[in-house]
């Protein structure tokens, strides 16, 4: 009676290893060959002398081939060899490069060179056999066979249920050996050992070290693949002639690739590099190639610019709509391409305008082009909310926030804690790591800076030593040298007292506790695991956020007194929300408070419709009343999930009150 090896009660691998110890050669015929299986047998075969009669002959069939696809000439046979070599190369690319795998690959290459292992590909007919024949110096049982369903893989030898039997009877073993020999010697059984040696020699497991410069070139090649494909796939429409600079033409073709592949793109070039013209050229490509009509949504003050300077000349099938009139979208016909100029104004996905635009895009399955020189303002949610205009919440992305996942403790821990797909935009919204967002935005954003243009596209005037670009008419446009100078001026208005040293010193001295909550934690308080992680996160980036807030206040002060006062009021209101929570024993919302945009008086998105005569918040009672209302919104089902929450008992209260008094003195 034969022995049964099912990998449940009796495993095949240990028995096969024991037999290899006393064998001097072997013949294997299998459908799949994987390193995961071979590394459990290779050390035994390494002890053999090699050469004819002292090696392992490995015959690989083609289990998926249909009879009519089997080659009848040398050219087709060579194609099959290349296909198997490509599959083996892919297997190496997917293998985790550990020391064990590296040792296995190097040993495999050496065994192939020493003829201790010979691998052939059987092409005459479909073959999916699983046969292991081992030859030994034993006059009573010179051949032992194992026949069944196990491939030369980890799963086949050990990891999953199989059905195999041993064959010991001499006549039966000899018949199996003759069957193997007939196929081994067949004309369409081709030796692929040399190809596998070459693949391993060129892989990460090669013996000699790869020069760092070659690694750099390969990384640059793969990272630039998207750009190279885009440059070859699309061309700038003839209507634009020489109006586009080289850097603009390259950006347009790359943006076309993103738009065609993923349904949306964000053109984020800095101010003055021609985003509007690039978006127009991009829309023209899709008008010419796919006959797509374009809807342009932009701020009211640039509607006429779009209509007269771009649509009348290039986009005859386009319509321009002011962002303040998006309520008309409900009755508007379908436009397949939507351009949103100044898209950073749509950071708040709870705003009415945002919802109207997103609903139109969803309803009509539009491709979307976003234009913004400042797509990221306060948090990475600014980017996420703009991307959500064309990326559905449940869409599976090709990337994931790997830095956050690693910090969380792995994929399982991440999924358990955040309850969202790791390959979704919702997962990225949990991450505050720049490297995670760079990886995502590489797929959706095209952004150039002046320094990039200077280094890669600008020409140099040999006489002046200045950088320049050549205009359509042949003239040179020189890049001006930026030399900052102090310019003094006098003014007399109601905000004059804001531009004093006292105000500057007051801003500099602000503690800004909301941006450095980690400094105001009550020590030795018992916390849960979730609270411990939130507290740990508070310690990161505190000083950086405080510095950013101070810088932002100075920028607002430089802009105008009215803007500065509005910014102060926003800070007071944010702080009042914390005070309301602390004074009433409620949990504190941790995270960006852009949800102030629920209050139309503080809504950046609707800035052009805010009446300057709107009632101001003057007293602390006004702020406290408004703060209580906003806190109720924060705790609603819609908004609560956008925050992390900590009990007020974790924080000191005294500093918060002092901070608010200082802000009120400024306002």
**pLDDT tens digits, 225-271:** 877 887 888 999 988 988 899 999 999 999 999 999 999 999 999 88
By CB atoms closer than 10 A (0-12, 13-18, 19+), residue 283 is: buried
Do 513 and 386 lie in one domain? The reply is: no
Please, are residues 604 and 563 in contact by the beta-carbon 8 Å criterion?
Answer: no
Same domain? 657 vs 584: yes
- pLDDT reported for residue 202: 83
CATH number for 249? 3.40.50.10810
Q: Is 464 exposed, middle or buried (0-12, 13-18, 19+ CB in 10 A)?
A: exposed
CA pair distance 649, 651, nearest whole angstrom: 6
Residue 487 lies in a domain: no
Do 263 and 348 lie in a common domain? yes
Q: Quick check: 307 and 263 in contact, CB under 8 A?
A: no
The residue-averaged pLDDT of 83-105 equals: 79
Q: What is the DSSP string of 104-154?
A: HHHHHHHHHHTTSEEEEEE-SS-----EEEEEES-SS--EEEEEES--BSH
- How far is CA 662 from each of CA 49, 387, 549, 656, rounded to the nearest angstrom? 86, 38, 15, 10
Q: Are residues 373 and 416 in the same domain?
A: yes
Q: What pLDDT, on a 0 to 100 scale, did the predictor assign at position 203?
A: 82
The answer on 191 and 309 residing in a single domain is: no
User: Within 10 A of 13 (CB to CB), how many other CB atoms are there?
Assistant: 18
pLDDT for the residue 4 = 95
| Domain residue limits at 395 | 230-452
CA 77 – CA 98 distance, rounded (Å): 34
**Does one domain contain both 191 and 243?**
no
Q: What's the pLDDT tens digit per position in 258-313?
A: 999 999 999 999 888 899 999 999 999 999 999 999 999 999 999 999 999 999 99
What's the CATH code of the domain at 107?
Answer: 3.30.870.10
How many residues are listed for the chain in this entry? 667
- Provide the pairing of β-strand 143-148 with 164-167: antiparallel
What would the mean pLDDT of 113-121 be, rounded to a whole number? Answer: 95
Whether residue 138 sits in one domain with residue 243: no
Phi/psi at 22 (5° precision): -105, 5
pLDDT tens profile 496-518: 777 778 888 888 888 777 777 77
What is the reported pTM?
0.60
For the chain, the domain total comes to 3
β-strand partners of 136: 23
């Amino acid at each position: 009676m034969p022995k049964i090896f099912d990998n449940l009660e009796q495993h095949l691998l240990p028995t096969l290893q024991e037999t290899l110890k006393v064998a001097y050669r072997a013949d294997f015929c299998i459908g799949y060959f994987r390193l995961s299986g071979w590394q459990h047998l290779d050390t035994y075969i390494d002890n053999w002398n090699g050469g004819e009669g002292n090696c392992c002959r490995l015959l690989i069939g083609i289990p998926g081939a249909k009879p009519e696809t089997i080659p009848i000439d040398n050219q087709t046979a060579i194609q099959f060899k290349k296909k198997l070599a490509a599959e083996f190369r892919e297997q190496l690319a997917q293998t985790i490069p550990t020391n064990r795998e590296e040792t296995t690959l190097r040993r495999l290459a050496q065994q192939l060179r020493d003829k201790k292992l010979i691998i052939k590909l059987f092409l005459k007919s479909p073959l999916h056999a699983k046969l292991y024949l081992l030859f030994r110096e034993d006059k009573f049982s010179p051949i032992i066979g194992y026949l069944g369903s196990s491939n030369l893989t980890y799963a086949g030898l050990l990891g999953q249920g199989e059905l195999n039997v041993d064959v010991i009877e001499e006549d039966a073993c000899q018949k199996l050996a003759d069957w193997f020999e007939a196929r081994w010697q067949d004309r369409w059984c081709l030796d692929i050992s040399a190809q596998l040696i070459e693949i391993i020699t060129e892989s990460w497991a090669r013996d000699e070290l790869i020069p760092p410069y070659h690694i750099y070139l390969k990384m640059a090649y793969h990272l630039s693949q998207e750009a190279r494909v885009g440059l070859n796939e699309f061309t700038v429409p003839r209507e634009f002639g020489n109006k586009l600079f080289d850097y603009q033409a390259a950006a347009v073709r790359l943006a076309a690739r993103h738009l065609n592949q993923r349904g949306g793109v964000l053109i984020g070039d800095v101010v003055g590099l021609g985003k509007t013209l690039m978006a127009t050229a991009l829309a023209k490509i899709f008008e010419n190639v796919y006959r797509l009509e374009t809807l342009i949504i932009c701020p009211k003050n640039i509607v006429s610019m779009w209509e007269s300077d771009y649509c009348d000349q290039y986009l005859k099938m386009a319509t321009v709509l002011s962002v303040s009139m998006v309520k008309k979208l409900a009755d508007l016909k379908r436009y397949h391409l939507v351009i949103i100029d100044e898209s950073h104004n749509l950071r708040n996905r709870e705003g009415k305008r945002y919802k109207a635009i997103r609903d139109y895009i969803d309803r009509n399955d539009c491709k979307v082009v976003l234009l913004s020189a400042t797509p990221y303002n306060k948090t990475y949610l600014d980017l996420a909310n703009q991307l959500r205009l064309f990326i559905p919440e449940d869409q599976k992305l090709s990337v994931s926030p790997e830095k956050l996942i690693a910090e969380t403790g792995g994929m399982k821990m991440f999924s358990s804690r955040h309850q969202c797909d790791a390959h979704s935009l919702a997962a990225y919204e949990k991450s505050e790591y720049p490297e995670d967002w760079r990886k995502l935005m590489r797929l959706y954003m095209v952004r150039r800076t002046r320094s990039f243009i200077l280094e890669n596209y600008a020409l140099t005037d040999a006489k002046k030593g200045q950088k320049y670009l050549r205009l359509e008419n042949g003239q040179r446009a020189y890049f001006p040298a930026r030399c900052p100078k102090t310019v003094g001026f006098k003014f007399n208005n109601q905000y004059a007292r804001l531009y004093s040293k006292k105000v500057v010193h007051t801003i500099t001295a602000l503690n800004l506790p909301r941006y450095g909550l980690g400094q105001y934690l009550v020590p030795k308080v018992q916390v849960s695991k979730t609270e411990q992680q939130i507290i740990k996160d508070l310690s990161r980036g505190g000083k950086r956020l405080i510095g950013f807030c101070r810088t932002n206040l100075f920028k607002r002060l430089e802009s105008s007194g009215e803007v500065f006062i509005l910014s102060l009021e926003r800070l007071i209101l944010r702080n009042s929300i914390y005070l309301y929570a602390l004074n009433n024993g409620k949990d504190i919302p941790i995270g960006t408070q852009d949800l102030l945009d629920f209050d139309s008086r503080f809504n950046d998105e609707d800035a052009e419709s805010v009446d300057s005569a709107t009632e101001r918040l003057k007293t602390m009672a006004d702020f406290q009343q408004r703060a209580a209302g906003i806190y109720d919104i924060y705790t609603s089902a819609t908004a609560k999930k956008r925050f992390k929450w900590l009990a007020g008992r974790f924080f000191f209260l005294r500093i918060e009150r002092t901070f608010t008094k200082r802000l009120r003195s400024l306002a």
